[in-house]
Amino acid sequence: MNQGRYTVLPTEPVTVFLIGLHINKWYKIHQWLPVLLAMPPMLSELSKDKSLGCLSFEMLFKYRGVMVVQYWETNDQLLSYAKMPVHLKAWRKFSKKLKNNEAVGFYHETYNVDTHQYENIYINMPDFGLGQARSLSQVNKHSNTAKQRLRK
């Protein structure tokens, strides 16, 4: 737990990758659960090998679905990981289970965020989100407001 106010200063670019699924037909668990279970091997690999470029991720459970927010050092590392063996194997299995499967939907979004184009605040929080991916700084008179944190 980080007591007080903390921020990650926007001094480095970051790639934010959102990936998730939406359960269209919750009662067809035999169709959507295998799709959901394709994700853990990839997350496990990313947790164990930081050289792949995934700085951190958060898994969020929402009504009728799951979303994983990933923070990457660079877009190139994200795209490179997509071609690696563990990912390709999981992706092929995942894609096969999605084909002709109206019980579950899938999405991903990628955002490449340059320096000074993001800001954040964490108050009395454990390391979370970008605050887990990058180094936290205690808020001071120069980083007290969102406008100050976004200043170049």
Instruction: Return the closest-CA partner of residue 113 out of 128, 83, 134.
Output: 134
80: tokens are 């490179």
pLDDT of residue 72: 98
> For residue 109, which amino acid is it?
E
Q: What pLDDT sits at residue 152?
A: 67
Alpha helices in 13-145 (DSSP H): 29-36, 40-48, 75-81, 85-98, 130-133
pLDDT, one tens digit per residue, over 85-118 is: 888 888 888 888 888 899 999 999 999 999 999 9
Sheet containing strand 104-113, edge to edge, reads 54-62, 65-72, 14-23, 104-113
In DSSP terms, which residues pair with 107 in a beta bridge? 20
96 — phi, psi (to 5°)? -60, -40
| Interior angle at CA 98, CA 15 and CA 39, nearest 5 | 45
* Per-residue model confidence as pLDDT tens digits over 28-57: 999 999 888 888 888 999 999 999 999 999
Q: Would you give the distance in Å from CA 33 to the centre of its chain?
A: 21
Residue 76 has pLDDT above 90, yes or no: yes
Pick 59 or 38 by higher pLDDT.
59
How large is the average pLDDT for residues 82-86? 90
Mean of all residue pLDDT scores within the chain? 93
User: What count of other Cβ atoms lies within 10 Å of the Cβ of residue 150?
Assistant: 12
Helix 29-36 × helix 85-98 angle, to 10°:
170
